[in-house]
Structure 1
Amino acid sequence: MTAARTASPRAGRGALSAYAAGSVGMGVWVTVPGLLLLYFLTDVLGVPAFTAGLTLLLPKVVDIVVHPLLGSRSDREARRIGHRRRMMRAGVLLGVAMAAMFSVPPGLTGGAAALWVGCWFVVGNLLFACFQVPYLTTPSDLRVGYHERTRVFMFRMVLLTVGLLGAGVAAPALAAAGGRGDYARMAVLLASVMAVSAAVAVGGVRRLTDECGFRMPGVQAGHSSPAGLRAAWRDRDYRALVLSYLFTGTTTHLFLAALPYVTEYVFGDPRLTALFMGLFLGPALFAGPVWTAWSRRHGKQRGLLLSQGVFAAGALALLPGAALDGAAGVVVTAAVVMVMGVAFAGLQLFAFSMVPDVIASAGASKAGAYTGVWTAAEATGTAAGPYVYSAVLAVGGFVSSTAGAPAAQSGTALTALLVGFTGVPALLMSVALWFQRRYTLDAAP
């Protein structure tokens, strides 16, 4: 790592901002399905909880296979034409899938509605993968050093937070009335933001590589996807980082999926979803630079372990707030959610900025394959979180309903709802922390 920390090119703010703009659309795609799709299925379309969870999980099986393949293809494309931007252009179409997924034809409920949503979710995930894999590989392609990679990801984290925050507040607010038309209009509006974001990012990648130089993948890059997978799995540090992030992503997306249920059935006010999401994601706007300064002094590994520990403790601390009545419960929950939001910013910044460090150690020829495995793990976590929560709801006997008519829930169902929101995330994040402690590549500079 010593050579990686020597003097290196420094990207301009304009190029970094244009590149990071792609994270706005990524934030929308990650947030809206993660936050609202499970609730949309169970409480608007009348899909049983367990079936709704499968609807979100099964499309991700495609991602597990496709992402590493796209990573290898991205390496071959970079070798052949000198850049990875061709695949990224598919991201401009991602908004079409978003709009269609929430625009379920009138009359479709239950299993038929789940099939419609699931099919469009597959299409959206494929388009997202085509954009995400080369986009996230870009920092590994740059001829920059250890700290400059963190700076690149700090810019990306800020714009990602803008996307997460904007979607996290706007989406539930636009769909607050609960009708199918409200969800459809919300999706169409945010889809336009996603298209613009992807288009700007394609130009940003060009500017960033022009300023910092492009590290061409080696001649062995991308010839064998299975070989790339085996190489990634044999890399001890990369394996620890990926498994840790798999459980981290599962935890954070479970939290997102559970939030609308908590505001509806515990606090009795679905409008609180937008408030809590704002409090959760808002701190990340200032926490990113703070975490970046932390990493320069203490190292990324320590920052990531601290973020994981705080998030796990915060999940357990949510239970007292949910047990309080009225405004007191809302205030306590809001305070805990803000602290968890600061930890969430660290989870994203440190984990993503450590991937190029592993790639730099393993060799640039593996960049696409390693990134493909990483994004496959990320996609698995985004689906596993809502699925785990839906399974907890199903075990508790949660009753699904259609728009405008929330069903009365039993005490067992409400208990399951709360345990899934507090205890289960704490347990999953503890597993993530256990894996992360096995990472040895990073050290405080």
Structure 2
Amino acid sequence: MTGFDPPPATTLPRGPLVGFATGSVGMGVWVTVPGLLLLYFLTDILGVDAWLAGVALLLPKVADVVLHPWIGHRADTDRARHGHRRRLLLLGCALPVAFVALFAVPAGLTGAPAAAWVAVGFTAGNLLFAAYQVPYLATPADLAIDYHERTRLMAFRMVVLTLGILAAGVAAPLLTGGDDATRAGYLRMALLLAVAMAATMAVGVAGIGRLHTTAALPSPAGHAPPGWRSLRTALANRQFRWLVGAYLAMSTTTHLVLAGVPYYAEYELGRPGLTTVLVAAFVAPALLVTPGWLAVARRVGKQRALLAAQTAFAAGSAVLAVGRPAGLPVLVAAVAVLGVAFAGMQLLPFSMVPDVIRADTTGTGAGTYTGVWTAAEATGAALGPYAYALCLTVGGFAASRAGETVVQSSTALAAVRYGFGALPVVVMLAAVALQRHYTLDRAARAAR
């Protein structure tokens, strides 16, 4: 590919960078809390069978495969016509309303009706999430910045996003009532976190506006190409296909682990309260290691750094498959290794997508590429919990309602452990195999 332009010298000011990054907090809450608690909410609070709970979380994501690229095309059309993507960003700011509705299951609804309520709320929320996320992630490609400055921009996002994920991941289980979680507790949690989502997403819109004022590239002339043609062109891009395929496997793995945390804490470690400890161990390292991943990427390139992160994630997951005999300190340390790797897997791919977009010579808009990218992320967010739910189903895991105590069989307990540890190893190694086919990074570094 030969579409790299001469690297601009623009260094983005810190204020707009922080404003842009703050917008990721609301998105982080949406990804983290449903990913962490929604499967458990269905099976252990609402009495939904594991297989049906998995379906209720999977089907809403199926629509994302079509909706995200379409929203990306609409974002490109807005930029071509108006010079910005603000309209969709403002629509996405309604996401906190859907977040509350997701956990506001009416009293008396259990089993299949409760699953249907959650599925409908999840579908609406995913649409609003896409309306915000797609134009948000198109921002780096809209700016006159080079290879390393795009990584710096996403590093700011990663640090702030991590703070949001950590705060939500630790606070959400506590706000639900901890070991004595109830429906009312889940609704209280949703209301409180929705306020934070609304505030930070509004700051993000303002931050994007300031970045565009500082370093926006000229808007493309005319209108965006027809949606299906743009989509076909994006998917025909070989480098993008390998990158997005690898990210689909990464997203599936990380969301599988996130969905399994409450089960692993309660049924493998015997202490539901350890959910917050494991979440903190998974998320907190990113606050310390993100600058390190940025330095590694500068030294060896984003591609090699990402392969190292993927390999570390597989190694940490293998330790978790051992379970209780390894000892609690070792298991918490293994989760921390996943967290270190997770930081790299969030920073590096998201800064590689703008490299692909800037190398493109077909005129395909950044929104179309990010729409396909976020569709892959959403698909992984669905496949991960669904894969874990299938593991529980195969193991004979018994659902329950709030306040009930169910004794799980030995096969169910094994499913909890191996689904949390062994399965992520397999999927992450698939991500490594796919990622090795991406070859654009050397050209992107040379062109800066």
Q: TM-score range by the shorter chain?
A: over 0.9
Structure-to-structure mapping, 1:210-359, within 5 angstroms: 210-219=213-222, 221=224, 223-320=225-322, 322-324=323-325, 329-359=327-357
Flag the 1:119–1:435 CA change in 2: closer, same or farther, 3 A: same
- Paired AA for residue 351 in structure 2: S
The residue that corresponds to 2:409 in the other structure is 410
CA distance in 1 between counterparts of 2:423 and 2:232 reads 31
Deviation larger for 87-96 or 342-351: 87-96
CA distance in 2 between counterparts of 1:9 and 1:85 reads 23
- Paired AA for residue 342 in structure 1: V
1:213 is displaced (CA, Å) by 2.0
- Paired AA for residue 75 in structure 2: S
Structure 1, unmatched stretches of 5+, are none
Flag the 1:434–1:215 CA change in 2: closer, same or farther, 3 A: farther
- Please give the secondary structure, in 2, of the residue aligned with 1:270: coil
The residue that corresponds to 1:436 in the other structure is 435
Once superposed, what is the RMSD of the aligned Cα atoms? 1.4
CA distance in 2 between counterparts of 1:319 and 1:433 reads 20
1:228 is displaced (CA, Å) by 1.6
* TM-score normalized by the length of structure 1: 0.96
Deviation string, structure 1 residues 277-313 (Cα, Å, up to 9, x no partner) = 1111111012111101111110000011110010011
Deviation string, structure 1 residues 88-123 (Cα, Å, up to 9, x no partner) = 012321111111111111110000000111111011
**In the alignment, structure 1 residue 378 sits paired with structure 2 residue 377:** yes
Contact 2:269 2:324 in 1 (8 A): no
CA distance in 1 between counterparts of 2:369 and 2:218 reads 15
Deviation string, structure 1 residues 326-380 (Cα, Å, up to 9, x no partner) = xx72211111111110000000000100000000001464211111100100100
1:218 is displaced (CA, Å) by 4.7
The residue that corresponds to 1:178 in the other structure is 181
Structure 2, unmatched stretches of 5+, are none
- Paired AA for residue 356 in structure 2: V
Flag the 1:44–1:5 CA change in 2: closer, same or farther, 3 A: farther
Flag the 1:155–1:436 CA change in 2: closer, same or farther, 3 A: same
- Paired AA for residue 389 in structure 2: S
1:7 is displaced (CA, Å) by 4.2
Structure-to-structure mapping, 1:7-156, within 5 angstroms: 7-156=8-157
1:8 is displaced (CA, Å) by 2.1
CA distance in 1 between counterparts of 2:409 and 2:321 reads 19
* TM-score normalized by the length of structure 2: 0.96
From 350, 357, 361, give the equivalent of 2:359.
Answer: 361
Identity of aligned residues (%): 53
1:27 is displaced (CA, Å) by 0.7
- Paired AA for residue 192 in structure 2: L
Q: How many residues align?
A: 440
- Please give the secondary structure, in 1, of the residue aligned with 2:94: helix
